[in-house]
Structure 1
Amino acid sequence: MNRAQSPLGQPLDRVDGPLKVRGQARYAAEFDVPGLLYGAVVSSAIARGRVLRIDSAATEALPGVHLVLSHLNRPPIASYDEPYEDADAAEGSPFRPLYNDRVLYSGQPLALVVAETQALARHAASLVHVEYAAESHQTDLQAVREQAHPAPAEVPPPRGDFEVAFNAAAHRVEGEYGTPVEHHNPMEPHASIVQYQPGGELLIHDKTQGVQNCQRYLEQVFGLQDRIRVLSPFVGGAFGSGLRPQYQLPLAVMAALALKASVRVELTRQQMFTFGYRPRSIQQLKLAADGEGRLQAVEHQAIGQTSRFEDFTEHEVEWSGMLYACDHVRLGYRLAPLDVYTPLDMRAPGATIGVYALECAMDELAHEVGIDPLELRLRNYSEINGNQGKRYSSKELRACYRQGAERFGWSRRPAQPRSLREGHELIGMGMATGVWEAMQMPASARACIDADGKLLVTSATADIGTGTYTAMTQIAADAMGLPMADVEFRLGDSSLPQAPLEGGSATVSSVGSAVQRACAGLRQKLLDAAQQSPASPFTGASPDAVEFIGGRMCLKATQHAVELKRIVEVSGALESEAHVEPGEQRQQWATATHSAVFVEVRVDEDLGTVNVSRVVSAIAAGRIVNPKTAGNQIVGGVVWGIGQALQEETLIDHRLGRYMNHNLAEYHIPVNADIPGIEVIFVEEHDSVVNELGSKGVGEIGIVGVAAAVANAIYNATGKRVRDLPITLDKLL
């Protein structure tokens, strides 16, 4: 293999694909454990109050029922009365299942029934009768918006004088934008198997985006240091729902400890609506520009909902202070506590809804000024992050605009709404900018090569469907000059080297950099081993004098080569572990991924139905490790953005404080018939600052800006602005 044939940057198939299509990839609830018992959760029927009585007599009388667990008989828990948190915790007191008789939200777990089969457990749980003392509740953000308090978030301070600049500007627009509650709804429901082992050790299979986060959480809560191992080799989608340990995990541990037996707890689809979600938001935007469309003033104020026991925050308004050049900016972010569960990060948290409002307001400003929306963005282009006052380490957003517009045919867009039609369909075109952080987190990896020349690389990261297995295999194969078939990457085991939560588009930049560094250490050990013999042609050679190609170590000057397995046959297996953290040079720069999204819609003038007919998404995300898996990530994000714009919302009956469409029949998401051809362009972008790989990550950026582009296209088609998502036909009619 020569360097031109390196797997890095190639659109390779997923290495875990064969296991998945053959049904051999095991997910959290699918492991065969001897003597396994099954748990079913009893959920609260009220939104606020107290539990007066739990009548489980009928349940306990059923043959095969082993336990009915509630706050009345749960085992002692080490830190339930003391503060504790997990790696993705919000500020406040985290929810503690079966803590006491208080009911904090509708759907709260009140009891766990453990039986010999799943069917029996669910039937038995339905027989548990709970008596309540209900109290008045509030679940409507709109009703309490005036009582919201400042969010405990790092909102950039104001700069300039917004009021003076806004009032003096030639053009002004202002509007209020609303986004609904959304739930993650991955294909795989949340589940945990707690395998009780002799001596009280627990081997746990859990659906999670961070096995070590779950391990630390359980050790802290139950006081079981060094007795817990968490496994999660495959995850059937998560989108942020697996960042925090969900309540089925501690419930399964409680039951296993109480019974000294192995227990599985799997949530139903309805119960998937009883924990974190994307919060509802109300956002007010004010933009002002001079006669040529240059921004003079920007204000972005947001109100989000949270629970009464935690203040959930996300980066919702910061994007309006960094995406465009403006000297007068005022940002604000408040929270309104409700009788609901705490929200949770959900794909591109904060940016998905914050950039939606900003980019719709920018489209309105373009119409007010009378210039093309793309031209407005180019006139306000900025090479620095205004919130930080730092120049970007790389920013190829101009290329995204140019290449995306050319591929889409943006020059053919009619400036006047309602001026392009075909039969009874109005046709419109819209665009928006996308932005997301380019983060790197501390991470470790271990690389080991054996006498067969096979490389094993390990890290306790996750693969939630993003292609982590494949990307890490490519990075390791490139670093060691090995064919992909000779490299194995293992993840999802809390006993492996430390890794951060898989989220925020930071896995490739974090874990990938650790993998690359571990392989560099292994190359040095191979060279050291080859130099042990005085007669070795590698004696005295520096690392720069050798290269690794096709499973061999080659001396560049003489072309002398030796197979790696020959070195290991003499030295024995060699391994190297590396830990990486963000470099100091990052502190001097702003880092971000960017995109430009172009959308065409067709709106039925009589029925108000909207069909998205074309999408082009141009992405600048540094080095792309695998264009195929990365392209799939962008396509998935675009699909979700279309759903966000047109269909997706969790509906709540505020009289009951309960979600009503808590199933996949009534929670509307796009299907194949809703989705057109989606074209993804990866713009070439080089960045030596973000990390050693130069990769920024693509998991989040794909969804950002899509909903705004759809909304802007609908305006171009119909002349009607709908600022509340989703844009359903009743709002258009």
Structure 2
Amino acid sequence: MALFNSGAQSEPTKKMTMNEPVESLFDKVPSKLVGQPITRVDGSLKVSGQAPYSAEFHLEGQVYGVLVSATIAKGKIKHIDSRAVEAIPGVIKVVTDPKHFVRNSQQGGATKSPTQGVTEIFYHGQPIAAVIAETFEAATEGAKALKVTYKDETEDAVLDFEAALSDAHAIDEATGSDKNQTQGDPEQGLTDSEVSLDLVYHTPSQSNSPMEPHATLAHWEGDKLIMYTSNQMLASSKQQIADALGLDNDKVQLIARYVGGGFGSKLGIAPESIAAAISAKELGRPVLIVMTRPQVMEATVRRSNTRQRIAIGCDKDGIINTFIHNSISSNLPGESFFEPVALSTHFLYRGENRQVEYQMVDTNQVLSGSMRAPGEAVGQIAVECAMDELAIKLNIDPLELRRRNEPEQDPSQDIPFSTRSLIACMEQGAEKFGWNERNPKPASRLEGDWWMGIGMAAAARGNSLGTSEARVILQVDSSKELGIKAVVETDMTDIGTGSYTVFTQITADLLGLPIDHIEMKLGDTSLPPAVGSGGSKGASSSGSSIYLACQQLREMLADKVGLYPDTIQLRAGQIEKVGEHEATSTEAIIEAGKDIATDLVDKATDVVDNLAEKIGLSASNQKSFQQERSEPNVSQQKSYDFSNFQSYSLADIIGEYDEKKLSAKGEIKPGKNAKNYRQASFGAQFAEVGVHRVTGEIRVKRMTGAFAGGRILNHKTATSQCYGGMVFGIGSALMEEIIHDKHDGRLCNHDLSEYHIPVNADVPQIEVILVEEDDRYTNPMHTKGIGETSISGAAAAIANAIYNAVGIRVRELPITLDKLLDQLPE
């Protein structure tokens, strides 16, 4: 860990680079709000409709835009006839910009514009124009009436993924989130194994379908563009906007105080944002464009469909020696994103022979990109179903097979795990779920008309840290009971995950203030830049920058009152002293240097005294000279006495500063720990299902998930995230599937009535266990991501339970009743 204060900045900044394990102040502060199941601090605003989302802002002179989408899968625009549209009452203008409009969304974290230029059509639903009107209704009517003439080349489009597998090409490893890897001799290892299996699994395209549609309200103040937008990662999205429009970064401001879900689809900018910005510039008025639900599904992002080969070789006792995970996914021509299905395969199980290989097919379908747990969500369906099949082949309990293949360290990189709690998750989950009551024989339990079965799967997701900054300000506030409040500033977003709440808990604990004395300012690029919400690293990264800003404030306050940082205690708005200072190794060296320096000064003093006597310097002048040389310049600050357990009001002390406030920044960066240790969150999923013996209908009866994600910041919000991930697993296993028409590329189920996701009736009783874990290598809070870990393995547990119920193995998801009907047991 490199930890230092920046001397170049006027504002004190605590910086940390994670190069070694660190202790956490949370273990030392008296307040223990972190971890508690505190209700969301913004909850009342949301349920009362007072939390403002992007489409709910209204500016003077605001007008409305509706995107116009292409109706062919491939070709070119020949002509756009806007005459009839502009005659519609209320319609202002049809805005087109073939060069600057973007054809698709951008991937998360990218700093460049997404692919621009919409004259050429690459997929059905590609936005090509915007109709601007005084009302949304008029804009909608105009968009429907716009006449577009195409050179239709749909017959040359690639619309059938399976048919195009032979055209798969190598992926661009430099821009992906995973890489191809081969260790040992996997194919020979498979051949030589005593027991082996070699299987292919298929997963379909899926839609992120956040509750809030993509929306942007754009307006210009001179040459500065201000946008109220629905994005997960504001700092990088701001750079994408600037690049797309040829603006300086400081001429773009994005505001997203509340985001109604994203699941990856809002990591980068979407087509409506650039269309709104260009329209607002042309009209000189604020323009709001909200995508319709079909447009969200047709023109933002999807999870790629995949073909995955899983081959495993082991001995007769189930000890794996070979693991192969090769896959093919799809995306638009020219795009580099590929579904990283094997991210966790690299380190989940042992095996000296290993292979991960990615390929991609170019298709004329909506952009493939990140969807909750990109990679693991569908990759672990294949891996964990294959492990279940191997367990059955070996006649070994599926949980025991995984236990036998627990690696001592990351088998793909030969580095240790920072922590690894998979066994603990499996044991705690199995006990709570009642795994020992499982009958391993399929189709052995019939309850009324329902075949019952249970299954399990492991869950794993790599943990990461992103560069993030935050500012924390302590300021006098007479409206607060303790006369003071803390204001936290960062452009980090809250997409429904609880950022406002967990950051409040972090600040409250470290500054010794109640929850209602913390003011959180998020979602505005005028604030310090954060990594954003995505990849299950937002809370850890942004939370750590807030932590460091608070730590800097603690050190500044300690210096103010004459304490050491390790002896200052902030409690209920008071500053106290606790314990005795323990000198660090650096301080010990400095102190030793001081002793040496003192000896040298004493010797020099003797020399000066002798010299003074020789030249006749008076005693008074000599004394004055010595005082100037040896006595420090003591500042005239107030003295604080902590000898009798005295405490001082934090508000009074802050009141002594100029403007009655004190501010500091924090900055966290990833470091050597990310390379030297495999960091990951782990879990275990258990499911019980019922399959109707006549209709083949599948019902999930109950689920239990046990997850280890480092220190838990808030048990209520973390549990809620796990609920959501497991519900995602139900959808992935049983119903979610984008259906593209293979003739014209049209998305057939482009709304929530036809694209099926789990509703209340589909979701059973879900139990979540948060396994205790402390990981000193991740960040100063010792936290890890957990939201995306909870979807990993969930669908596989359900698929394995279906096999246990009826003895039918389905390797092409989703598992629908038509895939069971002709094979149901008598």
Same fold at TM > 0.5: yes
Q: Please, which moves more after superposition, 715-724 or 563-572?
A: 563-572
Root-mean-square deviation (CA, aligned residues, Å) is 1.9
Is 1:145 the counterpart of 2:170 in the alignment?
Answer: no
Q: Distance in 2 between matches of 1:422 and 1:314?
A: 40
Q: Distance in 1 between matches of 2:702 and 2:123?
A: 41
- Larger radius of gyration, structure 1 or 2? 2
Q: Distance in 2 between matches of 1:524 and 1:431?
A: 49
Is 1:58 the counterpart of 2:87 in the alignment?
Answer: no
Q: In structure 1, what is the equivalent of residue 72 of structure 2?
A: 46
Q: In structure 2, what is the equivalent of residue 534 of structure 1?
A: none
Instruction: Tell me the alpha carbon deviations over residues 154-206 of structure 1, each in whole angstroms, 9 at most, x when there is no partner.
Output: 42421112222211222111211111111111110000001233x23222100
Q: Distance in 2 between matches of 1:520 and 1:40?
A: 48
Is 1:722 the counterpart of 2:810 in the alignment?
Answer: yes
Could you tell me how far 1:89 is from its partner in structure 2?
Answer: 4.2
Could you tell me how far 1:630 is from its partner in structure 2?
Answer: 0.2
Q: Aligned with 2:316: secondary structure? A: coil
Choose the corresponding residue for 1:476, options 507, 521, 537.
507
Q: Distance in 2 between matches of 1:41 and 1:498?
A: 30
Is 1:435 the counterpart of 2:457 in the alignment?
Answer: no
Q: Distance in 2 between matches of 1:182 and 1:305?
A: 12
Is 1:88 the counterpart of 2:106 in the alignment?
Answer: no
Q: Distance in 1 between matches of 2:208 and 2:121?
A: 24
Q: 1:80 to 1:712 in 2, by over 3 A?
A: closer
Residues 105-184 of structure 1: pairs in structure 2 closer than 5 A: 105-135=123-153, 136=155, 137-153=157-173, 154-184=178-208
TM-score normalised by structure 1 residue count: 0.95
Q: Distance in 2 between matches of 1:188 and 1:94?
A: 22
Q: Distance in 2 between matches of 1:478 and 1:238?
A: 30
Is 1:465 the counterpart of 2:551 in the alignment?
Answer: no
Q: Aligned with 2:84: secondary structure? A: helix
Q: Which amino acid aligns with 1:62?
A: I
Q: In structure 2, what is the equivalent of residue 546 of structure 1?
A: 568
Q: 1:311 to 1:556 in 2, by over 3 A?
A: closer
Percentage of pairs with the same residue: 39
Q: Distance in 1 between matches of 2:94 and 2:427?
A: 62
Q: Please, which moves more after superposition, 14-23 or 580-589?
A: 580-589
Could you tell me how far 1:88 is from its partner in structure 2?
Answer: 3.4
Q: 1:165 to 1:463 in 2, by over 3 A?
A: same
Q: Which amino acid aligns with 2:109?
A: D
Q: Which amino acid aligns with 1:648?
A: E
Q: Distance in 2 between matches of 1:434 and 1:405?
A: 14
How many matched pairs? 714
Q: Which amino acid aligns with 2:240?
A: Y
Contact kept, 8 Å, 1:86 with 1:213, in 2: the verdict is no
Could you tell me how far 1:87 is from its partner in structure 2?
Answer: 5.2
Contact kept, 8 Å, 2:109 with 2:233, in 1: the verdict is no
Instruction: Tell me the alpha carbon deviations over residues 8-49 of structure 1, each in whole angstroms, 9 at most, x when there is no partner.
Output: 110100000011011000101000211101001111000001
Q: In structure 1, what is the equivalent of residue 252 of structure 2?
A: 228
Q: Distance in 2 between matches of 1:380 and 1:526?
A: 51
Q: Distance in 2 between matches of 1:438 and 1:119?
A: 46
Q: In structure 2, what is the equivalent of residue 565 of structure 1?
A: 651
Q: Which amino acid aligns with 1:52?
A: K
Q: Aligned with 2:752: secondary structure? A: coil
Q: In structure 1, what is the equivalent of residue 303 of structure 2?
A: 278
Q: In structure 2, what is the equivalent of residue 216 of structure 1?
A: 239
Contact kept, 8 Å, 1:189 with 1:269, in 2: the verdict is yes
Q: 1:149 to 1:722 in 2, by over 3 A?
A: same
Residues 130-529 of structure 1: pairs in structure 2 closer than 5 A: 130-135=148-153, 136=155, 137-153=157-173, 154-197=178-221, 199-225=222-248, 226-273=250-297, 274-452=299-477, 453-529=484-560
Q: Aligned with 1:659: secondary structure? A: coil
Q: Aligned with 1:143: secondary structure? A: helix
Q: Distance in 2 between matches of 1:43 and 1:585?
A: 46
Q: Please, which moves more after superposition, 58-67 or 406-415?
A: 58-67
Q: Which amino acid aligns with 1:306?
A: N
Is 1:654 the counterpart of 2:742 in the alignment?
Answer: yes
Contact kept, 8 Å, 1:140 with 1:654, in 2: the verdict is yes
Q: Aligned with 2:534: secondary structure? A: coil
Contact kept, 8 Å, 1:209 with 1:501, in 2: the verdict is yes
Q: Which amino acid aligns with 1:149?
A: H
Q: Aligned with 2:303: secondary structure? A: coil
Q: Which amino acid aligns with 2:58?
A: D
Choose the corresponding residue for 1:103, options 101, 121, 124.
121
Q: In structure 1, what is the equivalent of residue 598 of structure 2?
A: none
Q: Which amino acid aligns with 2:650?
A: L
Q: Which amino acid aligns with 1:493?
A: D
Q: Distance in 2 between matches of 1:589 and 1:424?
A: 51
Q: Distance in 2 between matches of 1:100 and 1:296?
A: 50
Q: 1:321 to 1:436 in 2, by over 3 A?
A: same
Could you tell me how far 1:65 is from its partner in structure 2?
Answer: 1.5
Q: Which amino acid aligns with 1:217?
A: Q
Contact kept, 8 Å, 2:234 with 2:491, in 1: the verdict is yes
Instruction: Tell me the alpha carbon deviations over residues 537-578 of structure 1, each in whole angstroms, 9 at most, x when there is no partner.
Output: xx3x21112111111110226421111100011112100011
Contact kept, 8 Å, 1:90 with 1:312, in 2: the verdict is no
Could you tell me how far 1:344 is from its partner in structure 2?
Answer: 1.2
Could you tell me how far 1:351 is from its partner in structure 2?
Answer: 0.6
Is 1:671 the counterpart of 2:729 in the alignment?
Answer: no
Q: Aligned with 2:655: secondary structure? A: helix
TM-score normalised by structure 2 residue count: 0.84
Could you tell me how far 1:3 is from its partner in structure 2?
Answer: 5.0
Q: Aligned with 1:333: secondary structure? A: strand
Could you tell me how far 1:502 is from its partner in structure 2?
Answer: 1.1
Could you tell me how far 1:458 is from its partner in structure 2?
Answer: 1.0
Q: Distance in 2 between matches of 1:183 and 1:485?
A: 38
Could you tell me how far 1:224 is from its partner in structure 2?
Answer: 2.5
Q: Gaps spanning 5+ residues in structure 2: where?
A: 1-25, 478-483, 580-643, 822-826
Contact kept, 8 Å, 1:307 with 1:340, in 2: the verdict is yes
Q: Distance in 1 between matches of 2:225 and 2:674?
A: 40
Q: Aligned with 2:64: secondary structure? A: strand
Contact kept, 8 Å, 1:612 with 1:674, in 2: the verdict is yes
Q: Which amino acid aligns with 1:210?
A: M
Contact kept, 8 Å, 1:86 with 1:216, in 2: the verdict is no
Q: Gaps spanning 5+ residues in structure 1: where?
A: 531-538
Contact kept, 8 Å, 1:552 with 1:563, in 2: the verdict is yes
Q: Distance in 2 between matches of 1:410 and 1:39?
A: 55
Instruction: Tell me the alpha carbon deviations over residues 475-532 of structure 1, each in whole angstroms, 9 at most, x when there is no partner.
Output: 11111111111111111000111101311110121111111100011112223333xx
Q: 1:518 to 1:632 in 2, by over 3 A?
A: same
Q: Aligned with 2:460: secondary structure? A: strand
Is 1:705 the counterpart of 2:793 in the alignment?
Answer: yes
Residues 606-617 of structure 1: pairs in structure 2 closer than 5 A: 606-617=694-705
Q: Distance in 1 between matches of 2:698 and 2:781?
A: 41
Q: 1:236 to 1:317 in 2, by over 3 A?
A: same
Q: 1:617 to 1:80 in 2, by over 3 A?
A: closer
